[in-house]
Each structure stands twice: as C-alpha cells, then as structure tokens.
Structure 1
Amino acid sequence: MSELSETSVATQQRSPHLLSRWSWRELWQGQLWPVAVALTLIIACVFALSALVVRVEKIMTDQGRSVLAADLVLVSGNPIDDGILASASQRGLTVSAQTRFGTMAFSDENMQLVSVKAVANDFPLRGNLALSSGGAARVQSQHVQPGELWLAERLFSLLAVKEGDDVMVGDAQFTVSGLIAQDPELSFNPFSQMPAVLIHYDDIARTGAVQLGGRVQYRMYFVGADDAVASFRQSIELQAGQRWISESTQGRTGDLIDRARQYLSLTLILVIIMASATLVLTCQHYTTSRRETVAMMKSLGARKAWLWRWLAGQLLMLFAFAAVLGVGLGALLETLLRLPLGDILPDPLPPMGLMPVLTSILVALLVAIPGMGISLIKLVNTPAIAVMQPEGSAQSGSGLFSVSQASPWRFGLVLVPLGALLIWFGDNTLMWLTLLGLAVMLFLLAVIGVAVVALLRKKRWGPAMQLALSRIGRSPLATGAQLAALTASLMLLAVIWLLRTDLLADWQQTLPSDAPNVFALNISEAETQPYLAALDEQNIAHSSMYPVIRGRLVASNGKQFLKGTQTQQDNTNTRVESDQEQSDEALRRELNFTWRESPPVHNKVIAGAWGGEGTVSVEQGIAERLRIQVGDELAFTVNSQPFSAMVGSIRQVEWRNMRPNFYFIFSPDVVAELPATFLVSFRIGADQSPLLNQLGRDYPTVSLMDLRIMASRIQLMLQQVSLSLSVLAALGVVSGLLLVLTLLRLGLSQRQQEMKLYRTLGASRQRISATVWSEYGMMALIAGLMATMGAEGMVAALVHFGFELSPQWHPSLWLGLPVIAVGLVLALAQSMLPKLLQPLKS
C-alpha cells in the first residue's frame, strides 16, 4: 500500500469494479482474517448452541408434558364448566376428561381403600399408558375401554385376586382386566396416595362413589399448538378450587425443567459475550494494523465517502463469507455436541427450524455494529499526518486498549445491541443480573489489578521481572483494561462450569442414590416394632418411624385464617390478611402433623431453637407465605379438637429428597395423646418385589406406596438434562478459552515492535524472552486469582438470586483456575515467542 499513487486512488474512486476487486484482494491478503474468524466463531457458536438449546428444550418440555399426560391440565374440586371445553375446541385443542375419587374395592376375600382414576378413551394425550393382560403371553394395551378394570400391581396381593376375578368398586362389579404396567402421570405425595385402579369415564355413575360434597377431583387435559394452548390458558379465569398444571409447575420435574432453561439461556448469553469480545479485540487489532494505510490514502486524496465504500465492500463480503461458513460449522458442531447424547435423545429428533440460523446471523450483526463500527469510525477518522506520527504519541497508552482522541459519539453504537437485549430479554431477571454483575465485576477487577501491580512494583525483583512490571504498569488505564479483559474471560468460563456443577449437585438431591422408594403408611402403634423388625431382618435401610395425625392450621396470634376476622384486640398483633394467605393451598386442606423429640437429620433449623414444651417447628416456605415468626401462637384443629402451640423454630426442608417431611412438627406434649397412625420409608431394589408383596400379606392393613417406577423415570430425566448441560457447559468453556487465546495472541503480537527496540538497545534474546515470560506469567497469575474471586462472587449471586439455591464454596477453583491461566499463557508464549523473535536473529 506504500506504493499507492494519487492516480491509482483517483482511478479506484471512479471504478466500482476495480474497487470490488481491490476489496476482495484486501479481504484475502490483508489483516481481516482474524475478524472473519471471530465473526465465524460467533455465528457457529450461537447457531450450534441455539440449535442444541431448541432441541434440548423441546425434549425437556416433551418429557415434562409426558408425565402430565398432556400439554396443560386443569384441576378442579368441582365439575368443570362446559364453556371451558367450548373455548378449547374453538382453538383446535384436543381435550380429555378424567375424574379421580377414593372408594373401597372388595374382592371375595379382602377389601382395600383405592384411588380410582376414571379416564376417557383417548387418555393419555401425551406419554405412554401400558396395560398388561393375558397371563404368560402378555398383551399390551394403551387405552382403557368401557367395562374394564385395571389394577396396580400391589392390589393383586392385597385383594387376593388374579386376572378374570370379580372386584367390586363402590357399587359396581368389574372383572379384572389386568395390570397397570406404566402410568405416565407422576405423583409425589405419599401421604395422600392409595393403590390406583383405572376404569373408563363412562363407568363412573355405576360405582355410585361420586356424590355431592364428596372428595372428588375433576381434571381436563389439553393438547395443541403452543400458541393456542397459551392463548387458551390466558383466556380462562380460574374459579375457587381450580388450578393449572404444566411442565413448569409440576413439582420436581417442573423445577428441573425451569432451572435447566435458565441455565441454557445464561450459557447462550455468556457465549455471545465472550465471542463478541473476541470480535472486538480482533477488529481493534485490524484497525491498528491499517491505520498507516488509511493515513497514506488520505494524504493522496482519498475522501471519507470513498473509504467507507472501500471498507463496506470488504465487510459485506466478509459477513457473507462468515455467515455461510459459520452456519456450516455450527451445524457440524451441533451434530458433534449431540454425539454424547445419542443414547438418550429421542428418535427422530425434534426439528430445530430456521430460528437458530436467523438467531446466529442476527446476533452476529448486532454484535458487529458496535464491535466493528467503533473501531472502523476511528480508522476512517485517522488524520493524514498519522503517516509520520505513531499512534501511541497521540494517545494515552498503546495497543489494543489505548485511549483514542477521536469523538466519543461513536460509542453510541453500543445502544444497538442493548436495545435488542431490552426487547429480547426485557423481563429476564437472571440475564440482567448477569450483565450488571459482570459490569460491576469488571470495574472492580480492573481497579484491583492496577492496585496489585502498583504494590508489586514497590518490591525489589530481578531485572526481567522489574522490566516486566514496569511494562505492565506504564499505563494504569491500559493495564486495568488488559487485566479486566483477561480476568473476565477466565471468570466467564469458570462461571459457566461452576453453575453447571452447582445445578447438578442440587439436582442430585432431587433423588439421591439412597433415597427411599417405598412408603409404608397407616401402621398402627402396636405394629410399629414388629414392622421395623421385619425390615431389619431383611437388612433393609429405613427411616425412623413417624407418627402422623391429620389436621388444619386455623389461626395465628388470634387471627382466623380464611375468614377475614380478627379475634384478638391487641393492636400490636393486628394485621391485614393478604390475598396470598387467603389462597394458600395449605390452609384449604388437612395437613400431616407429627411430633419428635429431635429434629429430622434431613431438616435444618434456621431460626429459633428446637425443643421446649408446647412448641411447634414450622417449615420455612409456609412460614414465609403466612408471615409466621418464632414466638407466634398458632391454633390448630384435629378431628374438630382445637389446640395451640408456640412457634419454637423455623426449619429448612428439602421436599425433593423423597424422605418423610412435614410442614409442622410438634413437641410430644402437644399432640402425643391424639390418636395417630405411623409411617416409615425404606429402599428396596428392583428385584425385591416378592419381599414387598410379602410385607403386604403379613400386614394387610398397612398401605404400601411403591415409588420405584416413578424414581427411575425421574432419574432418566435427570440423566438427560445433566448430560445436556454438561455438553453445553463444555461449549461455553471452549468459547472462553478461544477468547483467552485470542487476547493473549494479540497482546503478544503487539510486543514485536517493542522487542525490536529492546534488541536495538542491546537487550539479549534471553533477557527479552525472560521479560515476556515474566510479564505474561505475572498477568496470568493475577488474572487467575482475580477471576477466581469474581467467579465465586458471581456464581454465588446467580445461584442465590437467579436459581434460588444455597451458594456453595469451590475450594478446587482457587488452585485450578490460576494454574489454568498460567498454563495457557506459557503454552501460547512458547508457541509464539520463536516467531516473534525471528526478526532479531543475526
């Protein structure tokens, strides 16, 4: 470009064809390759990640809906109005009805309280219902027909029946059709479960069990297009006793899916941030390398308009090239990312549609506008005098992080992606918390980094280290920017992996390996010791025996719940009842109470103290919802018998661990005299069904809740989500490593001119190498330690405020991340130093 003449510039300005050819040659032979690679990286990573996110989210959603047996379920304590069904039909939704009720089942020999599910022909609308009959030659069916009766496995032994026998359900006589091998609907409340039977919806009237005022639950199942289901749900105003169930509200599975979605979104955001930083760095490097060229062109008569056409041609070809290559590489990367999931992903895979392509190109464009535009505006505004004036003489600092004297209005381009973020993630608290935390963290890390370097410079070091520290501390602003950029890249990749680790650790508590999978209920006091002895004889691990009574919470400090009245005149205790209290489900049904001398080992007391006569320990969630505090006086009723207790402690309860848990645990003196039954939980293997049946025969009045099938299904879902998040986390870490390597590579490249100066002044190759090793080793160590602190703080905030989990400490990170940082720097320096020192050879 130094051979450019004024005539050639004028000719190029007059000839669009020659301008295009020149732009193409500049693209292939100039310094735009790093920018093209960065854009390709953004498009490929966003495409691969968004495509995998779309597939995994659809899979998780389908998994969640399969355990609902539908896309959306309406649960009601009263018959559901026909207008709701009409509204669903108008939107093209498929509807299936179900009624649930409890009643007695009678065989010739025994009787048993059962939970009846009366279902329609098309149940389930999602998932699989497996019904098995036919003796040795089993025949599988997926739908219940009129007149059929299907029993849970345990009922065959409890009722002493086999296929073909007659069983009375309420007033109706049925012939046993066979076994319920698999029911898609999961239920997690062992206290309210009874052995299940399936009958057809048309046979409800024959049973005579559904009576006015009886405890009956009505359900409607809906399936259809997502937008139609969402529109239908918004159009329905729920009445008292009604609620929706969807994949995001279904207990453990809903919690799992919701947090997995949050992690997927967060990972995508962090990958975009890191890829964007890579683009900004490479574009700044390009701007620096072409500054003298632009100055030369201006000195020979090139105008800004022509320069913009010249650059626009290059950038248009560059973006088209990056889009094609990025989408292609992204598709390949998404395929590779799915390889570890091959055994658990469904076949065929859910389609990903065009959204990943559009998203990746749009994200790259939004990032490129400020990422490239700010640097290019600076480049076009380069004065002609810059041909003779080095960039560093007109600026504070040098290199990639120099401070330009150009007009600051160009930084307004940052508002373009920020506006898109506002539209795209306007109500995503987790995303804004991440960005705000990252911005604050960057500022703090930059300040800390500069302070650490200043402190180190006060100490006496060897010549190489002294020269390295002098180089680092030459410009506090540039040093702070360099350390902040390196620290941020290390911190972000650590955040992605630590969040994944914390989420998986939390999900392991959803169903720990030793979680009980059978509950024995309704054990009489006389049977407690024999029953425990029977379990011990078979070496079955079990919980303590818990007494259970059923009652209601009716008042707090003299204030009656659900009635809106105030019975106590003390103004200090007067408070207005909230809508949340009025609608809290725990107030509208009987709860399971128990009493203990000591707290359960799987509960944690977080306020007050355990024990004391006349006290009750309250679960944290219900205490927060009903504003119950330590020292409050609570009133209860059991079988219309009132009693009260003072709140002695608040407990943190992990409801997902499938262990016996209670809202209220009393001191024995409060309720020990009330009649109670007992429960115990234990764990048996898949091959121990005969033992379970033997317990059912030996203790016919004890209800056994076998949750093994449900537990295995949760474990499968957990496995799918965990492996998917591990793959996504690995992709995020790879993106972070690419950013770190790009940052270090460009930083080392800019040292080449300084190395020439050092050599001219008589510095040896060994001294120059030692100085570079010391400089970047020290920066890597400082950045690694600061990234560790930043990652711990950021993960703690995200886990607590975003995922509503308890923050964890990560001791291995404090050693691992600094070692990784130093290792990356040393490896890169080892590979680049010989090339950088090549011009110095004699």
Structure 2
Amino acid sequence: VQGVATGLLLLVGFALPPILQLRNVPHNRVIRRDQGAPQAMTVLTYVLGTLVFSGLLLWQAGDLKLGLLTIAGFLGGFGLFALVAWLCLRALRSMRGLVDRQSWRFAIDGLQRRPAAAVMQVVALGLGLMALLLLTVIRGDLVGAWRQATPADAPNRFIINIQPDQRQAVQQVLQQGGVKDAALYPMIRGRLVQINGRPVNPADYQEDRAKRLVDREFNLSTMAEIPPGNGIVAGRWYDDRQPEASVERGLAQTLGIQLGDRLQFDIAGQLVEAPVTSLRKLEWGSLRVNFFVILNPTLMRDTPQSWITAVHLDPQQEALGNRLTRDFPNLTVVDIGSVLRQIQEVVGQVISAVEFLFLFTLCSGVLVLYAALAGSQDERVREAGLLRALG
C-alpha cells in the first residue's frame, strides 16, 4: 500500500500541472498540428513535485533530521548537476567550430537554443544515475552484512552448566569429536543491586528493556584477557590488581552506566562491588559466548561459577551432543542449528528481493531516460523538417 501510494503521489505531484493545461488546448490543434502546444506551468510543476517528493522522504524516513538531511542531499545534488550542465553548455559554445561538420554545428546550436531544457535533462539523468549507483552500493553492503551476520561456521550448539571439575573432561570429549577450538568461559549468576550506592529499581527506568534487565539476574564472567570479538570503545582493560568491571556498551547506554560508576552485584548472597573501567563493543551476530559484564579474576575468585562454551558441529558430528549429555547428565546442550538454517533461508530470500529491486530500478531508469529524450522529440522533429525544407 505504501509503494502504490508513493507512486501515485509522485505521479500526481509532477504530472498534475501539465495535465491541467490540457484545458487550454485549442480545438483546431486536435486536427491540425501546425499550432504550438500550450505552455505548461513549468515552475508550478517542479515546485509541486518537489514538495510532494520532500513530504514522501520525511514520511519514509520517520525522522525529521534524517528526512531533512536527505532532502538537502538531493537539493545539493540538483544544484551541483545543474551547475556542471550549465558550465558544459558554455564550454560547448566555444567548441562549435572545432569540427567542420554540419551535424555537429546543428547539435551545438540546438543545445544553445534550449539551455533550460538541456540542463533539466542532464540534471534528471544525473539524479537518476546517482540514485541507481547509490542503490548499487547499498545493495552490496546489505548483502555482505546479511551474509556475514550468520557465517556458515557460526556456533550451533551451546553447552552450559559445566562444573569446574568437569572442564578438562568436557574439553577432551570435544577434542576427540573433532572440535579443536572450543573455548570454555566461566559464567556467574548475579543480580545488579546498586549503582553508585543507589539501589536499582525497575520503576526508575522508562524503557521496558531496562526494566527487564534490572529485574533479573545477569550472566557475569571473569577472565584475564579480553575475549575474541570484543573491542574496547572507552576506558581501558583492567590489570587485575584491584576490583574492576568491563560493561557492554549497549547495556551501559540502556541503564545509564558511565565510566567510573560503581556497580554492586548480589552473587548467591555475596555482595561484589567494582568500578566500571571500560566499555566494550560485542559482535552479537557471531553467536559466540558473550557477556554483558566481565569482572576481574581476583575479585571473583571465591564466587560460585559454572562454565559455558559454544561450538559448531557438522552434520556428521551431531552424535557428539548426545554423548556429552550421556556422559555428563548435568550438562544442557542447546541446539540452535535449525534456527540458524531458518535465518539463513530468510536472508537468502531478502537478498533475492533486493536483487530484483535493483533490476527493477535499472529498468525504471531506462524508461526515465527515454522519457527525458522523448520530451523534446516533437520540437526536434519540427526543427529537422524546417532544415530539410529551408536548407
């Protein structure tokens, strides 16, 4: 419905003023074509079309700032293309005598007689090509990002509730099953109870996500080195000489946590407090094991811990999950392979839709180019007839 409405509004915005001029067509012109066509309200046409186009951009953007920036970009491109086209016409005037051919001189003269129409056609073609090339760039970026969001070797099994005395045995079973790079991470359940000495209450937050986060336990972890796929965006990684915490950037924005804030967690009745010394950016799409908050090992030495890992199992390795649950009944092996396959199928369908949209836009651009040339065809045919008759 939005697509049909957009097309109709653009059609009305640019085509309505010329259509209204049909009421000024003389009766004799229906039979005799020697009378000139009525002059369309050119200025009104472009003003109305620009207003409709701007309104559609604001509607589709859904944000005033983004919509205004996009409008400014199109207007800037319009002005730049118009300036370049006008300078090219000025340069062509001095090139009229460079080639001793009548067709060359007639072409140059034709452009000089209709400078406004020539500039407008160049601008229309330039804006169309700009939009087409922009879609080409965006298409490549989207396809690449979607395909990389869930790589083929992304983990499809999560193994949780590994006890400290089972770490080596579980790693040995995974290595025997062909999984060489299974990294185990400690996982600690804790509830955030205070920020800078102030009790944390879900009623203090407006966003539903923030309320859910502070109303449940966090999956905390502890490690000496920054894990793969994590990047420090603010602050520094801790040196393990004093209590310190590293917080995921999105969580910090949601809960209003900043560098230097002191966080207190309740871990099985044990209160642990540490200042925030770094903010991290995570690659959630990698499906690796990630944690919102990581605390330094010295601080978490005496807290109850279990271990977690994420591995990728090929179809011929699926029996490995059954073996783990048989040998270690307390483990929980979460199979997300079917979910990943469904996600990849949806991504493939979206990529096909974007490619179809690209081809559709290319065909539309060809039609726009043809329309731009056909717009002045009658006048050029009339000029050619006069040249043939008068010499």
TM bucket by the smaller chain? 0.7 to 0.9
Distance 2:40 2:336 in 1: 70
> Structure 1 residues 669 and 475, CA, compared in 2 at 3 Å: closer, same or farther?
farther
Shift of 1:657: 3.2
- Tell me, yes or no, if structure 1 residue 585 matches structure 2 residue 246: no
CA offset digits 1:162-193 (Å, max 9, x no partner): xxxxxxxxxxxxxxxxxxxxxxxxxxxxxxxx
**Residue 682 of structure 1 aligns with which residue?**
311
Matches within 5 A, 1:779-798: none
Distance 1:432 1:378 in 2: 35
2:202–2:214: 8 Å Cα contact kept in structure 1? no
Shift of 1:739: 2.0
Distance 1:471 1:596 in 2: 76
Shift of 1:518: 0.8
1:454–1:473: 8 Å Cα contact kept in structure 2? no
**Residue 666 of structure 1 aligns with which residue?**
295
**Residue 77 of structure 2 aligns with which residue?**
445
> Structure 1 residues 667 and 406, CA, compared in 2 at 3 Å: closer, same or farther?
same
Task: Give the alignment's Cα RMSD to 1 decimal.
Answer: 4.4
Matches within 5 A, 1:396-795: 429-430=61-62, 436=68, 439-453=71-85, 463=98, 478=117, 480-562=119-201, 577-580=204-207, 584-613=211-240, 614-746=243-375, 751-752=380-381
Q: Which amino acid aligns with 1:608?
A: G
Distance 2:134 2:282 in 1: 27
Shift of 1:532: 2.5
1:608–1:648: 8 Å Cα contact kept in structure 2? yes
SS in 2 for 1:584: helix
> Structure 1 residues 646 and 492, CA, compared in 2 at 3 Å: closer, same or farther?
same
Shift of 1:480: 4.8
Q: Which amino acid aligns with 1:463?
A: L
- Structure number with higher relative contact order (C-alpha < 8 Å, ≥ 6 residues apart): 2
Shift of 1:682: 0.7
CA offset digits 1:645-694 (Å, max 9, x no partner): 22222222343432211111223233244231111111112232322222
The answer for unaligned runs of 5 or more in structure 2 is none
Q: Which amino acid aligns with 2:259?
A: V
Q: Which amino acid aligns with 2:81?
A: G
> Structure 1 residues 484 and 669, CA, compared in 2 at 3 Å: closer, same or farther?
farther
2:234–2:279: 8 Å Cα contact kept in structure 1? yes
Distance 2:108 2:291 in 1: 61
1:562–1:587: 8 Å Cα contact kept in structure 2? yes
Identity of aligned residues (%): 27
Distance 1:544 1:736 in 2: 52
Distance 2:236 2:369 in 1: 50
Q: Which amino acid aligns with 1:733?
A: L
Distance 1:596 1:718 in 2: 35
1:493–1:737: 8 Å Cα contact kept in structure 2? no
Shift of 1:618: 1.5
SS in 1 for 2:304: coil
Q: Which amino acid aligns with 2:315?
A: A
**Residue 835 of structure 1 aligns with which residue?**
none
Shift of 1:544: 2.2
**Residue 19 of structure 1 aligns with which residue?**
none
> Structure 1 residues 691 and 626, CA, compared in 2 at 3 Å: closer, same or farther?
closer
SS in 2 for 1:643: strand
Q: Which moved more, 1:454-463 or 1:478-487?
A: 454-463
Shift of 1:605: 2.8
Shift of 1:495: 4.2
Shift of 1:550: 0.5
1:553–1:587: 8 Å Cα contact kept in structure 2? yes
2:158–2:311: 8 Å Cα contact kept in structure 1? yes
1:554–1:635: 8 Å Cα contact kept in structure 2? yes
Q: Which amino acid aligns with 1:527?
A: Q
Distance 2:127 2:346 in 1: 34
Distance 1:609 1:476 in 2: 62
SS in 1 for 2:320: helix
**Residue 375 of structure 1 aligns with which residue?**
18
Matches within 5 A, 1:306-345: none
CA offset digits 1:277-317 (Å, max 9, x no partner): xxxxxxxxxxxxxxxxxxxxxxxxxxxxxxxxxxxxxxxxx
